[in-house]
Amino acid sequence: MASDYEKFADQIKRKTGIDLSLYKEAQMLRRLTSLYEKKGYQNFGEYYNAIENDPKLLHEFLDRMTINVSEFYRNGKRWEVLENKILPKLLEKNKTLKVWSAACSTGEEPYTIAMILSKLVPLQQISILATDIDDNVIARAKMGVYPERSLQEVPPDIKKRYFSTEGGFYKVSDEIKRTVTFKKQNLLADRFDSNFDLIVCRNVLIYFTEDAKDLLYKKFSAALKQDGIFFVGSTEQIFNPGSYGFETEDTFFYRKK
């Protein structure tokens, strides 16, 4: 007999297209159990019935399962490698780069890419696709307004140039916002665009099962041009890059052969 959680996962998949079985189970179970207990439900069955009758609960569930934390220039040293080594090499081949920030959350990551690229090419030449499964974070990303703590790693010159302050919050400038197109996309179910020079996918693969990761590495590899770069998060090293047609270019950067 299917467990309470498996049945819940089935129901959620039918309702939203999100396949919970591709996310690491222990972690997801812990997060969702604590959420439904806090709401006063006894088990996943009761919780699902409540979700069916209250769209607010569905939103809250999506919020909890997707973990949206992000910040500008997250793991600063890696972005220095992108700026000083990876991008100059990519730009030797192509003047305009096709760039994708996959699982972009509230937008800090694609805006960081735009700010870094703007040091190397004119802003008009920059166009970045940014996707996430969660409508709420995409709406916030489009607004481009952030608390100070999201900007801790932003270099002072960039902060001065591309942010304005309003009521204690920081707003990304329109010229940077114009370079990013946000779209909703489920990495585990939707098709990928292709011919990218650079794909940045950080701090989401850790939540997926090994099978799901394996499939995604293949899809990311297929979505890159030859010599295109795949940039992952600082706990997401690929241990067998060769089996996906990748070569290690630097720590956490893989080049498509």
Which residues make up the interface to ligand SAM (CB under 6 A)? 66-70, 74, 103-105, 109, 132-134, 137, 185-188, 202-204, 233
For residue 197, the minimal CB distance to ligand SAM (Å) is: 18
Backbone angles phi, psi at 180, to 5 degrees: -115, 130
Q: Tokens representing 82?
A: 């992108």
Q: Which segments of the chain are extended strands (E)?
A: 99-102, 128-132, 145-147, 163-166, 169-172, 180-184, 196-201, 224-232, 246-250, 253-256
Task: Name the residue nearer to ligand SAM (CB basis): 233 or 241.
Answer: 233
Task: Name the residue nearer to ligand SAM (CB basis): 90 or 216.
Answer: 216
Other C-beta atoms within 10 Å of 151: how many?
16
For residue 92, the minimal CB distance to ligand SAM (Å) is: 27
For residue 35, the minimal CB distance to ligand SAM (Å) is: 16
DSSP 97: -
Task: Name the residue nearer to ligand SAM (CB basis): 7 or 64.
Answer: 64
Nearest to 130, CA basis, from 108, 105, 106, 100: 100
Task: Name the residue nearer to ligand SAM (CB basis): 108 or 197.
Answer: 108
For residue 62, the minimal CB distance to ligand SAM (Å) is: 8
